[in-house]
Amino acid sequence: MGQLIDVMPALQNEKADPAGTAVDQVRAELAAADLLEALGVDLSAAELVDTPRRVARMYEELLTPQPFDPTTFVNDDGYDEMVVVRDIRFTSLCAHHMLPFSGIAHVGYLPGERIFGLSKLARIVTHFARSLQVQERLTKQVADWLNEQLQPRGVGVVLRAEHQCMTMRGIQAVGSTTVTSTMHGLLRKNPASRDEFLALCGEKA
């Protein structure tokens, strides 16, 4: 049976590093103010005077990927069982409505010649989530990146999320969740490996 690690929620609270981004804060604040006024919001109200600035900074934070060093290590001990970091909490922005979708990610792999620092599996999810996203693309980006960087014998990624564009508007399907997955290598080709990964994630095969 593979190794199972539950990621600490605090890892998801690290502040994004805005260095190197091309955010025009002044234009973003003006645009936020224009939008709110166009929607009939009276920005002269005391509690709303600073709202455009807060909105601009919020979106800057949510759209700024967190940089990290993708450290790998030689698999000296020849560990060849599943490594899974589960219940990685994430929040991203829907590319269609710019409303948040939030949930958990399970990321696992079957090591080859190299292994990954465990915290990096959580950082990958957070990094790609900091963008205008659709859940399907986010799932594939995490899996593809890990597969390319580590060249393991197999990779599996499962995301389960609730989308506010479905729960608070439109159909208002409160409580609904969307599940997506991407598999590479043995986790895609070998049913036993796939079932083991899903079992470690707490997902039904």
- Averaged pLDDT for residues 100-104: 96
- Averaged pLDDT for residues 168-195: 93
- Averaged pLDDT for residues 62-83: 91
Checking if the pLDDT of 6 tops 70, the result is no
**How sure is the predictor about 21, in pLDDT bands with cuts at 50, 70 and 90?**
low
**How sure is the predictor about 16, in pLDDT bands with cuts at 50, 70 and 90?**
very low
Q: For 125-136, how does the pLDDT look when each residue is reduced to its tens digit (9 = 90+)?
A: 999 999 999 999
pTM equals: 0.85
Closest by CA to 91, choosing from 129, 139, 50, is 129
Checking if the pLDDT of 7 tops 60, the result is no
- In angstroms, the Cα distances linking 155 to 6, 37, 95, 117, 144 are 18, 48, 26, 15, 9
Per the prediction, the chain carries an average pLDDT of: 88
Checking if the pLDDT of 194 tops 60, the result is yes
Q: Which residue type occupies 4?
A: L
Q: Which residue type occupies 8?
A: M
d(CA 191, CA 169): 39
Domains of the chain: 3-15+67-201 (3.30.1130.10), 25-62 (no CATH)
**How sure is the predictor about 15, in pLDDT bands with cuts at 50, 70 and 90?**
very low
Q: Is 52 helix (H, G, I), strand (E, B) or coil?
A: helix
Helix (H) or strand (E) holding 199: helix 191-201
pLDDT at 203: 86
d(CA 91, CA 13): 11
**How sure is the predictor about 147, in pLDDT bands with cuts at 50, 70 and 90?**
very high
**How sure is the predictor about 1, in pLDDT bands with cuts at 50, 70 and 90?**
very low
- In angstroms, the Cα distances linking 12 to 80, 107, 117 are 28, 15, 16
Closest by CA to 125, choosing from 110, 140, 147, 109, is 140
pLDDT at 12: 35
